Amino acid sequence: MADPTSQSNYIAIATHHLSLEWTLDFLTRTIRGTAVYELEVKGNEVAEVILDTADLVIDSVHVDGSSVEFSFGTKHTVMGSALHIPILCPATKGGYVKLAIKYETTTNCTALQWLDKEQTQGGKFPFLFSQCQPIYARSLVPIQDTPSVKFTYDARVTAVLPVLMSAILISPDSTSFPHDGRKIGHDKVTYVFRQFVPIPSYLLAIASGNLRYRPFPVPKGKDWTSGVWAEEELVDAAEWEFKEDTTKFLEAEEKIMVPYRFGVYDLLVLPPSFPYGGMENACVTFVTPTLLTGDRALVNIIVHEITHSWFGNGVTHADACHFWLNEGWTTYIERLLQQILHTPAHRGFSFLIGSKRLYDDLKLYESRPAYQRLQIAFEHGENPDDAYSGVPYEKGANFLLHIERTLGGINVFLPYIKNYVQTFMGKSITTQEWKDHLYAYYCEHGTRDNVEALDSIDWNAWLHGEGLTLPVPAEYDMTLARQSNVLADRWDKARTSTNLHELFNASDLQKLDANQIIVFLQRLQSYTALPKSHVDFLGSTYSFSTTPNAEIRLRFYQVALLDPQTDAAREYAVDAAAWVVGQETSKGIVKGRMKFCRPIFRALYAVDAKLALETYQRHKLAFHPIARNLIEKDLGLISTNVNANVAK
């Protein structure tokens, strides 16, 4: 079946290679240029090419060198406007068509966020970055905007600031003078890129700002390179935060998977409005600056993004209905790496931390149970971002853990995983194709017991089931959670105490790492809300109310705002509001990552709707368009009704 989020005719004719010639204009906040396509004909007598677009201005179109008239379909609220381009001589199966489009983006481009210099860490130059997942590449370039189509690309991008793309930088040399030695912010330089590995449209990415590069040492015998990019003022901190672990993570992943294919694995630390923890763009993972804690406490998120090189960027979901194949597999393998790099207890601990997000998000979608499913049957034109949550990550990872245990353990399952990657690398697949392959593998390489074990799984409950719990309760190694739980229990039992300074002090946390502190705070949320005096003491004694670690600060505010009717909630709502928009200190930064801003705004709304709405409205432009859309749905500013997203 065709991708329900695309209007393109990719089944009949598909992009094979894309060449981009772009100029970035920071004054008009637009990209203008030309896109040239090499399209492979899949059907018979194909008479037109249909591309997805959203808010683009098309200047001219040429097919095989000849100018042609083009037309737009009726604009769809979610999917944009289908661009219809006639093929003068209907193309036959196996042939190729060359298409060239001269066009320009607009200020309504959802994929791009243009930042004023004041919104950056350095404060000297503006910044541009893209976020095309899940369906926003169509606002950056006319494209068959579906993960079912993979293509190689090259690009020449001219700008007055350094440029990065999701491809290998051919020139100028990243290790030479920044901006090819020209005056940054003034002189135009053309950057040349080439992506040799076919990728889906959602991995198209661009960033431009006052960027600097720091290479990482590469393990002996590896043919890939790695390093970090960041604004000039942050690059030294970014280098320290990531240089010790990034290549170690990538090397460990290669030992259990197939070799890394993309040649370069770089990180780019973006300004704080970036809406995700990380985005696995090919060759350069975009990451949030909230990972820069100065103690490497949050670098494990890089394991997740590296893992996407095989699950997502390598083996890709066919469309949004099967998104869990990307994120469920990636989360599962990320946690397997925790076991390999550390101990089995670390793997179980990661599942425990993720379970809080899972159950919170299942509860969030209680009124829209279709989004509690792993395999979501999206209607044609439904916005997949409406379903964005921890469910495909956490429910998917738990499903795969259940399969592993049902089959007899990791030693039985790991050979299959490697075969799965080898079989589907470079392809886009559905859940049914994955399941068929799983059965076929164990029929050929396993035993009758293996196949019977697979038969015992309630596939319908896992893939299509709804509700607030997993189909099969999961048990995790709780070793690393014991100290956290004991401390939380002590606080719960002390809720009537008036001598807290005799019961608790900063040394309580000496033997807990950042993740154990997170579990401690999550455990506190499972009890009745603490009195305000206790929340005050908790925040000051452990420095939770001032910590720069956003993961910990989020959980502290969730403890403080747990009961919207309490004095603690009313007081800390003001602090939380200031924190999420970067106004708590003179050096505060907006918490643009949706993992932080969405739950904070939802909690604020429950405590003081006026405060939540006024805070958001004053600072909304500091958030990425994707985050704004979902925050506004959370706050009831726009409809969450599925039918509101479908054009009549």
Q: Which residues are catalytic?
A: 305, 393
The pair of structure tokens assigned to 634 is 């959370």
What is the spatial distance between Cα 16 and Cα 22, in angstroms, rounded to a whole number?
A: 20
- What is the number of alpha carbons within 13 Å of residue 325 lying toward its C-beta? 28
Q: In whole angstroms, how far apart are CA 445 and each of 411, 419, 423?
A: 13, 11, 14
The pair of structure tokens assigned to 420 is 């799965």
Strand 30-41, strand 13-25: pairing: antiparallel
Cβ neighbours of residue 367 closer than 8 Å, sequence gap 6 or more: none
Other C-beta atoms lying within 10 Å of the C-beta of residue 603: 23
144 three-class SS: coil
Comparing CA positions, the residue from 101, 107, 10, 13 lying closest to residue 54 is 107
Cβ-defined contacts of 427-430 (< 8 Å, 24+): 427/315, 427/316, 428/147, 428/148, 428/149, 428/150, 428/200, 428/316, 428/317, 428/318, 429/315, 429/316, 429/317, 429/318, 429/322, 429/325, 430/317, 430/318, 430/321, 430/322
Strand 284-287, strand 264-269: pairing: parallel
By the 8 A CB rule, do 79 and 128 touch?
no
What is the spatial distance between Cα 322 and Cα 5, in angstroms, rounded to a whole number?
A: 12
What is the spatial distance between Cα 368 and Cα 372, in angstroms, rounded to a whole number?
A: 8
- Cα–chain-centroid distance for residue 488? 31
Residue with tokens 């009313």: 570
Strand 66-67, strand 112-115: pairing: unpaired
Strand 46-53, strand 96-104: pairing: unpaired
By the 8 A CB rule, do 467 and 362 touch?
yes
Q: In whole angstroms, how far apart are CA 311 and each of 194, 259, 307, 334, 437?
A: 22, 13, 6, 11, 16
What is the spatial distance between Cα 155 and Cα 35, in angstroms, rounded to a whole number?
A: 9
What is the spatial distance between Cα 87 and Cα 47, in angstroms, rounded to a whole number?
A: 5
Comparing CA positions, the residue from 152, 151, 149, 128 lying closest to residue 140 is 128
Q: Which strand (E) or helix (H) includes residue 95? A: none
Residue 444 class from Cβ within 10 Å (0-12 exposed, 13-18 middle, 19+ buried)? exposed
User: Is the four-CA dihedral 175, 180, 186, 189 of positive or negative sign?
Assistant: negative
- Cα–chain-centroid distance for residue 363? 21
What is the spatial distance between Cα 606 and Cα 109, in angstroms, rounded to a whole number?
A: 32
What is the spatial distance between Cα 627 and Cα 630, in angstroms, rounded to a whole number?
A: 5
Comparing CA positions, the residue from 89, 119, 52 lying closest to residue 590 is 119
What is the spatial distance between Cα 64 and Cα 44, in angstroms, rounded to a whole number?
A: 18
The pair of structure tokens assigned to 266 is 């770089």
DSSP letter, residue 392? I
What is the spatial distance between Cα 273 and Cα 251, in angstroms, rounded to a whole number?
A: 31
What is the spatial distance between Cα 394 and Cα 392, in angstroms, rounded to a whole number?
A: 6
